[in-house]
Amino acid sequence: MLMLGESILSLLIIYVPDENGNFYTTFFGGVLTVILLQYLHFRSQPHDPKWHAMRRHKNAGISWSVLNQIYSFAFVILGAAFTSFLTASSDNNIGSRLVASAESPDTKKATAHLFSGSLGVIFACLDIMTVLHLGLKESHDRCVCEQTKRKNVKGIFLVFIRFGVIVFIATLSQWESEPETLTLAAVACVLFQLLMRKLGGKYLSHSQVHVLDPQRISKTNVMEHSASHLTTARSGN
Amino acid sequence: MLYSHIRQRQKWGDTQVLPRVNWGDLFFDLFYVGATYNVSYILVENPSSTGLLYAAGSFLPLVIMWVEKMVFDARFVHEDDLFHRFFQLAGLAVLAIAVLHIRPVAILSDSSEISMLTFALCLVLERLLIMTRLVEIYFYGVGQRQVLQTLAKRELQENLVPLLFFLVSFILAVAQYVNGTSPNVPIKRNLAATAENSYVNESSSNIPIWLCLLGYVTLQVMRCIKVMLLFPGQGRHKEM
């Protein structure tokens, strides 16, 4: 929560003498990104302390603890990147932070790398922490139907998409360094992540029951099913 | 009350009770608002790998303080006594001075500035405070005595390595300061988004901040090894 607040501070406590369209695009995009990240953060937390990684297993707990610190640092970097974007968005940089070669392409590119890298780390950390809360076995079991033993294709596809989003946002700075574009892409990616969470609740849920399709039950299964009932009926007598 | 013993909050096998967050915890968090702001300013001023190094080297060791306070508060409790009040005050003062000296790269890397050596000194003092508390737990902790003494001894050993890194960083920063030139321009601290009179001094060195970062990394690696590989499994840790 502290780090989310710092990201908001980085957007709000800033002096820009000349606000223009680019500034407002970046500003509102940044605020929207942080608000959605806040929602994504709390959406990714377990609902009960007993489901937390620190309660589940010692290895998961210590991993979560270390990862949480990296996650926090990534938020700090994100906030710094937003501040740089907003100051760079102003037409008149006199009075703003005098950074070393503030308008140079190298600085712009470096800031873009910090932005996309930190957002990629945030997404990756959230996903890894979710796995730590659930456990590898539970996570794997959600990709396989318990009853039919068939692979949960939709769920696995969602996992790959989430991985793809992380790679996309982490490498976005390689071909784009404009603050407005990066900010809007960040908003889209966070919204997409929230959509993935929603779909994950449907296709990767633990409580999902896969009803046996009678047409797909083989004859052998039917015979075994009938035989077991017969045995039970006889033993009951 | 002048002094009260530190008590074990929960014993092994007891039903877990979640401690409540109190006003003191929230106040402690406020220092980290300032810390994160100063750290982000490092990156704004220098969005390069060097900036990232200084941001990580100044932020991550401070995060350990937060984690360790949380871990302590989850396991131990004490009455509202004068000794622990002053102890807490000392901890907050050290943290505040550390946060105050999180400065841009040009200043932290400048051997003629005191920021780096003050920051390293604060990390050393913070480790010493934690180790003092562990000694107190070892000798005066109330609860399952064997558990407390084993825990205190292990954590004391664990804290020696990062202390060494921070101490070397401090000594190096002092040596560089003593041998460095005096600054030509008076140091001015300005608020956000106004000009920072930072300048590049030729006598810059990144070794102290590397040592601060390595101290943090070493502590985390040691804890991971201790918990993942050396912790007795199958409930045997309860056999005390």
Q: Give the largest Cα separation in chain B, rounded.
A: 63
A90, B193 contact by CB (below 8 A): no
Phi-psi region of A235 (alpha: psi -120 to 50; beta: other; left: phi over 0): alpha
Query: Do A114 and B52 lie within an 8 Å CB cutoff?
Result: yes
Average pLDDT over residues A144-153: 70
Average pLDDT over residues A75-91: 85
In this prediction, residue B73 carries a pLDDT of 87
What percent of chain A shows pLDDT beyond 90? 30
Query: Do A15 and B44 lie within an 8 Å CB cutoff?
Result: no
**And the tokens for B57?**
């080297």
Average pLDDT, chain A: 78
- Give the A window 207-226 contacts with B, CB below 8 Å: none
Question: In this structure, what DSSP letter does residue B142 have?
Answer: B
- Check whether A20 has a pLDDT greater than 60: yes
In this prediction, residue B204 carries a pLDDT of 61
The amino acid that residue B219 corresponds to is L
In this prediction, residue A200 carries a pLDDT of 82
Query: Do B193 and A16 lie within an 8 Å CB cutoff?
Result: yes
In this prediction, residue A103 carries a pLDDT of 52
Query: Do B67 and A69 lie within an 8 Å CB cutoff?
Result: yes
Question: Is A85 or B192 the better-scoring residue by pLDDT?
Answer: A85
Residue B216 neighbours by CB distance under 10 Å? 23
Nearest CA in chain A to B37: A6
pTM: 0.81
Nearest CA in chain B to A99: B45
Q: What is the pLDDT of residues A149-193, one digit of tens each?
A: 777 777 888 888 989 999 999 999 998 888 889 999 999 999 999
Report residue A227's pLDDT band, with 50, 70 and 90 as the boundaries: very low
Strand partners, B110: B204
- Check whether A65 has a pLDDT greater than 80: yes
Average pLDDT, chain B: 84
In this prediction, residue B236 carries a pLDDT of 62
φ, ψ at B169 (rounded to 5°): -60, -40
pLDDT < 70 positions in chain B? 12-13, 16, 19, 181-204, 233-240
Q: Which of A13, A69, A76 sits opposite B39 (nearest CB)?
A: A76
ipTM: 0.82
Give chain B's contact residues with A (Cβ, < 8 Å): 18, 29, 32-33, 36-37, 39-48, 52, 55-56, 59-60, 63, 67, 192-196, 220, 223-224, 227-228, 231
